[in-house]
Amino acid sequence: MSRAGKDAVRRWVAEMVGEGDLDVADELFPPDLAASARQWVAPFRASFSDVRMQVVALVAEGDQVAGRFRCSGTHTGTWLDHPPTGRRFDVDEVYFFRVDGGRIVEMWGLEDTAERLRQLGLA
């Protein structure tokens, strides 16, 4: 399962977040979570049109995957009710996933929103 779990997470990063392919949610998440995944990714990509998320490290054990990521982008659309600043952010993020049958069935994220706001000149 470790390999399938890591592969699902890599696809989420590359295809959904990186390329903006929201249709891949139907392959990566069970039906009850696919819509939620799209609802999270779509507005984030609209706010940061050049968003880039890089996998720094993935560790898997059983059905659990932990990942450290580097996320960057330019604030080109409204985000958290803040109009675009045109400024860039570059922050570390950590996510934990539970994968079942090659699909992400649970996901918890730790993002440094305060640092992102500071870099965008919003805090």
Total number of domains constituting the chain: 1
Per residue in 49-63, pLDDT (tens digit) is 999 999 999 999 999
CATH number for the domain including 81? 3.10.450.50
Assign 2 a pLDDT band (cuts: 50, 70, 90). Answer: confident
What is the pTM for the complete model shown? Answer: 0.93
HEC assignment per residue over the chain: CHHHHHHHHHHHHHHHHHCCCHHHHHHHCCHHHHHHHHHHHHHHHHHCCCCEEEEEEEEEECCEEEEEEEEEEECCCCECCECCCCCEEEEEEEEEEEEECCEEEEEEEEECHHHHHHHCCCC
The domain containing residue 84 runs over which residues?
2-119
